[in-house]
Amino acid sequence: MTDGASADSAVVLETDRLLLRPWRVAEAVVQRELWTERDPRVPPHRRIDADGHPTVAELEDSIRTNELWSSGLLAVERKASHDVIGYCGLVDTGRGAAGELELAFELLRRVWGQGYATEASLVVLDWARSSGHERLWATVWDWNTASRRVLAKVGFTETERKEVDPERGTTLFTTRRL
Ligand SMILES: CC(C)(COP(=O)(O)OP(=O)(O)OC[C@H]1O[C@@H](n2cnc3c(N)ncnc32)[C@H](O)[C@@H]1OP(=O)(O)O)[C@@H](O)C(=O)NCCC(=O)NCCS
């Protein structure tokens, strides 16, 4: 696996099967599909509302204006088919210690179970390490077996910290030294 920056210094990370790179505006449809597929236990602000928001146009706008989509949560593109299947990257949620980022990932259901989240996460860990980060966090619902398994596979361990929501489940705080 390699990581680095392209000529215009956009982040581009590469693995055997994947490229992780900034989102393109036209790929807002993929983000909308991720929103529609979310588990009903995910909190309402992360699900499509009764009026259909966020719309594709709103997500396009977000890709244009929010740096998160160019240098944080990167589009995961399959090299063989050139399709974008979700995101993986780093985000500052403010839930870790100052300056410590969270690993986050989400993929379209049709590609689950092929090791893509694990492969993408490993190159993001390399990226974080080479950018000078010493520790990352990841939060995960206790019921999210697949995500917990991915985090365990790439070396995250559970901490004592938990947030209990009686309706939605418990958020587990996991961490990994780089
Ligand atoms: C979490 C997610 C990204 C995983 O993507 P993926 O590409 O399928 O992950 P991988 O194939 O790399 O690994 C999944 C692992 O979980 C295991 N797994 C998946 N579903 C499982 C289940 N219901 N019970 C037990 N294990 C399960 C798989 O067997 C695999 O482990 P293995 O390699 O030991 O067999 C994907 O399920 C997703 O997008 N979920 C919705 C968004 C989300 O939960 N994001 C994370 C928020 S913390």
Q: Which run of H or of E encompasses 170?
A: strand 169-177
Query: Does any domain span residue 36?
Result: yes
Structurally, the chain folds into a number of domains equal to 1
CB-based contact 24:63 (threshold 8 Å): yes
- The closest-lying atom of ligand 1 relative to the alpha carbon of residue 119 is 12
CA of 174 to the centre of ligand 1 (A): 16
Does 7 map to a domain? no
Its domain, for residue 135, covers 13-177
Could you tell me if 90 and 136 are in contact, meaning their C-beta atoms sit under 8 angstroms apart?
Answer: yes
5 assigned to some structural domain: no
Strands laid side by side in the 11-14 sheet:
2-5, 11-14, 18-21, 73-78, 84-91, 102-107, 135-141, 169-177, 157-165
Q: What is the pTM of this model?
A: 0.95
The answer to whether position 4 is within a domain reads no
pLDDT in tens, the chain (178 residues): 444 444 457 899 999 999 999 999 999 999 999 999 999 999 999 999 999 999 999 999 999 999 999 999 999 999 999 999 999 999 999 887 788 999 999 999 999 999 999 999 999 999 999 999 999 999 999 999 999 999 999 999 999 999 999 988 999 999 999 9
Inside any domain, residue 50: yes
Identify the CATH number of the domain in which residue 73 sits. 3.40.630.30
* Residue 6 belongs to a domain: no
Q: Is residue 30 part of a domain?
A: yes
Domain contains 163: yes
Distance in Å, CA 153 to ligand 1 centroid: 10
The CB of 44 under 6 Å from ligand 1? The reply is no
